[in-house]
Amino acid sequence: MTAAWFLARLPEWGDTTALVSHGRRTSYAELVGTTAAWKERFAARGVGPGRVVAIDGSFSEQACSAFLAAMALGAVLVPLTRLMRAQRERFLRIAEVSLLVELEEGDAFTLSEQPYTAANALYQKLTTRGAPGLVIFSSGSTGAPKAIVHDLAAVLEKFRQVRQKKTTLTFLLFDHIGGIDTMLNTFASGGTIVTVADRTPEAVADAIQAERVHTLPTSPTFLNWFLMSGVAQTRDLSSLKVIAYGTEPMPESTLRRLHEIFPDVSLVQTYGMSELGVLRSRSKSSDSLWIKFTGEGFQTKIVDGILWVKAETAMLGYLNAPDLFDAEGWLNTQDAVEVDGEYLRILGRASDLINVGGQKVYPAEVENALLSLDNVREVAVFGKTHPLMGQIVAARFNLKTPEPLDLFKRRMNAHCRERLAKYQIPVFVELATEEQYGTRFKKLRHD
């Protein structure tokens, strides 16, 4: 399989706006022209099957065109962002990058040759298939970042069907599997992607209002911040029809408030992993955390309360770690779930589970109760080692306004006694001033 069909479709959209970035509107005709220029530029440098090209940027006209051009030439793509530049040299070495495209503000770009040659067996497999590749680095939240290799032609297959043309805000980053999925999904159906310079509630709300954004894909952590900011009451967000949330468990209290403020917006839970891609799913309702998987190309099963997935879009493997698939191609997602017929509820990563004297505590359940406590803006719950109990529940809070810790703990305990079992109530409590999320707006739970 190749990417030829995908690229052949883009000229069909003509003068339709493909991209709004850096204050500039780019039509599909312009995107196709810029992609052609990048193909010539890359071809002159010998880019083709077996070459690994890194693109350090965001969803700008030049970055998207460079991505499409390298894909058309059958190269392996490594999308990077400025937020990860401290690790860039390490990433270039692991991915065996031979050409780096670096984009700055204003979309100025430079190309530089790198001292690496693609020798990994996974790259050889892509070359044999005649398929372009995609390398995504994991967040590294549970160890060193892993380099995940995908057959990009296989990833594209789920976009063959032309769907509704939508204007979608690209909140998820250029180096994130969800961000790449948003770009490809939008371009495949002639939609428009809208970028924001800053991922703040104000900037996102302004973009939704100005560009009449239809779909906002983001994380529960950002949505909680969005609600706390009050921007939904000061902007015209009537164009918004879909809020798609994923990457971490959604607190039920946050979902309930979202549904109250956006009663006519479909709140859709998505599910994806860098190793699997983004699976098509459907929420039971906008105010429900239960989802079912839809579409073709993957299978699911539950083993001892843990979700396993077998997908045609699954990665070929890691460049720098052992394979995680079993002999039949199933991947243990490490996500604990509850089952109700054809619907599932994601409880959280098994690695986040807190074991209090043999009792299982999922942080998301405790966070859901704590977020309804007066004066709480955000909270992260995690396990803390204890000599007798094995672990105790710990909670780190961000408050809306300052409050003495002893007074807050008394209020918290009274609040929790009505909502949680005794073993679920946080024993260790601290107040924080720094934000408790990473560059991907995913909650950081750690001791």
What does the pLDDT profile of the chain (447 residues) look like in tens digits?
678 999 999 999 999 999 999 889 999 999 999 999 999 999 999 999 989 999 999 999 999 999 999 999 999 999 999 888 889 999 999 999 999 999 987 889 999 999 999 999 999 999 999 999 999 998 654 557 899 999 999 999 989 989 999 999 999 899 999 899 999 999 999 999 999 988 999 999 999 999 999 999 999 999 999 999 999 999 999 999 999 998 888 888 899 999 999 999 999 998 888 898 888 888 888 889 999 888 777 888 999 999 999 888 889 999 999 888 888 989 999 899 999 988 999 888 888 889 998 898 999 889 999 999 999 999 999 999 988 888 999 999 999 999 999 999 999 999 999 999 999 999 999 999 998 887 777 888 776
- Could you give the residue range(s) of every CATH 3.30.300.30 domain in the chain? 353-431
pLDDT at residue 1 in the model: 63
Fold of 4-14+21-152: Rossmann fold (3.40.50)
Residues 6+ apart with CB under 8 A from 335: 306, 307, 346, 347, 348, 349, 350
pLDDT at residue 358 in the model: 86
Q: Where do we find the tokens 């094995």?
A: 390
Cα gap 132→3, rounded to integer Å: 7
pLDDT at residue 143 in the model: 58
- Could you give the residue range(s) of every CATH 3.40.50.12780 domain in the chain? 158-350
- Cβ atoms of residues 313 and 155 within 8 Å: yes
pLDDT at residue 447 in the model: 66
Whether domain 353-431 has CATH 3.30.300.30:
yes
- Could you give the residue range(s) of every CATH 3.40.50.980 domain in the chain? 4-14+21-152
Tokens of 212: 């009449």
Q: Which residues pair with 398 in a beta bridge?
A: 378
Q: Which residues pair with 391 in a beta bridge?
A: 385
Q: Which H or E run contains 407?
A: helix 405-417
Degrees, nearest 5: CA angle 283-251-158: 35
pLDDT at residue 406 in the model: 95
Cα gap 220→442, rounded to integer Å: 8
Q: Which amino acid is at 377?
A: R
pLDDT at residue 396 in the model: 96
Tokens of 295: 């579409």
Closest among 237, 218, 116, 128 to 170, alpha carbons compared: 218
**Class of 158-350 in CATH:** alpha beta
Neighbours of 9 (CB within 10 A): 17
Cα gap 175→173, rounded to integer Å: 5
Cα gap 196→58, rounded to integer Å: 10
Cα gap 130→124, rounded to integer Å: 10
